[in-house]
Amino acid sequence: QVQLVESGGGSVQAGGSLRLSCAASGSTWSRTCMAWFRQAPGKEREGVAGINRGGFGTYYADSVKGRFTISQDIANDTLYLQMTSLKPEDTAMYYCAANPGPFCWGAGTLGKYNYWGQGTQVTVSS
């Protein structure tokens, strides 16, 4: 079993920054891949950024490249998402997720993430 607990969401103005954290516990082999997803009201859940726990790669949605950075602290079992230059369209519930791999990103990988946190709300005002 894997437990994921997100924190760090909030309300900011456009152009601002936030850092999301995801504290993970439980089976490490079940979280070879870690990722951040988001879902805005009335929209489908979408992948924002992903990372291979072994350090073999990071992945980003085109909409956040150059603005968001995913990272991890292996020793403390924490996943981060540093968000800068935030835009109103970044407003969404952000979720941390894990899957046992080996496919961390790309078409069809949403369904491979079988552990999810409860989400943290990010609101960006113009």
Give the span between the Cα atoms of 123 and 109, in whole angstroms. 26
Where the chain has pLDDT below 70, the residues are: none
Pairing mode of beta strands 120-125, 10-13: parallel
CB of 121 within 8 A of CB of 36?
no
Bridge partners (DSSP) of residue 6 are 22
How many beta carbons lie within 10 A of that of residue 92, not counting itself? 21
CB of 79 within 8 A of CB of 41?
no
pLDDT of residue 101: 87
